[in-house]
A and B are shown apart, each in its own frame.
Chain A
């Protein structure tokens, strides 16, 4: 009996282990992701995930509507009042906009507002584990989505595309423990980094680090992307500062951030595929 025959099981086990370790090593190279298998599985399961997540959302919406009827009525009245106020504000803004354009043309200044070309996508699946905060959307490279495209909602920044398959994309949220965003405090102009934190991730929050010790940021300050780092364009709203603490180094402060986006109930996002 040869060595292989005697130790067949152990040899197979060692070979499979070695093969999986090689696959692991290869998968850490960004240019190899998504590989053929990953893309094939994604293409097969994403339509099923889409149907199921739609069914789940519809069921949740139905029960939420039934149970919160009174709340919705009150909210409806409040919103009607708010709409009236906002309509008035819009009319005033339109006037100001016209005046601004006129004055700009008089001064021969270019528009500085950056507009985005976006692709609307639905969330069809969430991360299967408890350690990361990422999800899958139903748009991919065939819709013009590319790796590292920023993802937003009406409320603010969501994250970036970490993998663009042909019919789906994976999005890493800003509260994920591997995520970091170059940010600035709107009121003071201070720069800092907003990064995910394992502990805060569960509460749907993240933290801001490397805030200058002399900075006068306070709870309630608004944060937006600073445009540095190469992924996120400048001026996307991130959220509010909740609490400021010393980071223990004596050189800088840190803060807990409440993102504008509710990551638990996110169902639709906009992927920024280009800047106008």
Chain B
């Protein structure tokens, strides 16, 4: 098995482990009642260090796993994750250097974008209220929490999941 294939396999094994942790342990590690999103952090860090196609595929798989393991609408997380990943590949690799601090910043920005879209979509479909309260009380806390967790995840991805490629999805 060549190095690239081994990397791909390891990526998806880690993704599966992250899913299990997300639905079990992470729920117990809340701060002010807010749980971080390990899958989102992993997708952003992966996209920061890899090319567009592997990142987008990784993001779709991550999103689909989240969808089928408890999402209300299957495909929604996958769609969001895919566009987020493509955004991170272009914006991240263009404007951010590959450092833990950059990863933390990108994760915070991505969390904000992701959760805002998720929240607005949920409001439209399922109803609800307290728009500004939810931004401050849920989204901003999650941004900070995810950004902090992004640092160890960055080192993990950098060591095990970096897959260099010459192809780009939108070439």
Do A and B truly interact? yes
Q: Smallest Cβ distance from A9 to chain B, in angstroms?
A: 4
Q: Smallest Cβ distance from A233 to chain B, in angstroms?
A: 25
Which of chain A's residues has its CB closest to B170's CB? A9
Interface membership of chain A positions 13-24, coded 1 if the CB is closer than 8 angstroms to chain B and 0 otherwise: 100110011111
A124 contacts which chain B residues (CB < 8 A)?
24
Q: Smallest Cβ distance from A214 to chain B, in angstroms?
A: 26
Interface membership of chain B positions 2-31, coded 1 if the CB is closer than 8 angstroms to chain A and 0 otherwise: 000000000000001001111111111000
A131 contacts which chain B residues (CB < 8 A)?
118-119, 122, 138
B19 contacts which chain A residues (CB < 8 A)?
45, 128
From 45 to 89 in chain B, residues with beta carbon under 8 angstroms from any chain A beta carbon are 52, 56, 60, 64-70, 72-76, 78-79, 82, 86
A41 x B74 contact (CB < 8 A): no
Main secondary structure of the interface of A (DSSP, over half): helix
Which of chain B's residues has its CB closest to A203's CB? B33
* Band of interface residues on B: 35 or more
A24 x B74 contact (CB < 8 A): yes
Q: Which of B26, B60, B67 has the most CB of A within 10 A?
A: B67
B66 x A199 contact (CB < 8 A): no
The segment out of B98-106, B126-134, B158-166 that lies at the interface is B126-134
From 55 to 85 in chain A, residues with beta carbon under 8 angstroms from any chain B beta carbon are 56, 60
Q: Which of A9, A38, A128, A177 contacts B171 (CB 8 A)?
A: A9
C-alpha gap A12/B82 in the complex (Å): 12
B23 x A13 contact (CB < 8 A): no
B129 contacts which chain A residues (CB < 8 A)?
197-199
A130 x B142 contact (CB < 8 A): yes
Number of A residues with CB within 8 Å of any CB on chain B? 45
B60 x A198 contact (CB < 8 A): no
A27 x B75 contact (CB < 8 A): yes
Q: Smallest Cβ distance from B29 to chain A, in angstroms?
A: 10
Main secondary structure of the interface of B (DSSP, over half): helix
A130 contacts which chain B residues (CB < 8 A)?
34-35, 115, 138, 142
Q: Within 8 Å of chain B (Cβ to Cβ): is A127?
A: yes
Q: Within 8 Å of chain A (Cβ to Cβ): is B1?
A: no
C-alpha gap A241/B42 in the complex (Å): 42
A21 x B74 contact (CB < 8 A): no
Q: Smallest Cβ distance from B17 to chain A, in angstroms?
A: 9
C-alpha gap A26/B74 in the complex (Å): 8
Which of chain A's residues has its CB closest to B78's CB? A20
A98 contacts which chain B residues (CB < 8 A)?
none
Q: Smallest Cβ distance from A31 to chain B, in angstroms?
A: 14
The segment out of A46-54, A99-107, A152-160, A252-260 that lies at the interface is A46-54
Enumerate chain B interface residues (CB-CB to A < 8 A): 16, 19-28, 33-35, 37, 39, 52, 56, 60, 64-70, 72-76, 78-79, 82, 86, 115, 118-119, 122, 126-130, 133-134, 137-138, 142, 168-171
Beyond the given A37-B68, A126-B24, could you list 13 further A-B residue pairs with CB under 8 A, ordered by the A residue number? Answer: A16-B56, A16-B60, A27-B74, A28-B73, A41-B69, A128-B37, A128-B69, A130-B34, A130-B142, A134-B70, A198-B134, A199-B133, A199-B134
Enumerate chain A interface residues (CB-CB to B < 8 A): 9-10, 12-13, 16-17, 20-24, 26-28, 35, 37-38, 41-42, 45, 48-49, 52-53, 56, 60, 124-132, 134, 136, 170, 177-178, 197-199, 202-203
Of the A-B pairs whose beta carbons lie under 8 Å apart in the complex, a sample of 28, sorted by A's number, is A9-B168, A10-B170, A13-B86, A20-B60, A20-B79, A23-B74, A24-B73, A27-B67, A27-B73, A28-B73, A41-B65, A45-B69, A49-B20, A53-B24, A60-B28, A125-B23, A125-B70, A127-B23, A128-B19, A128-B35, A128-B39, A129-B37, A131-B122, A132-B122, A177-B126, A197-B129, A199-B130, A203-B33
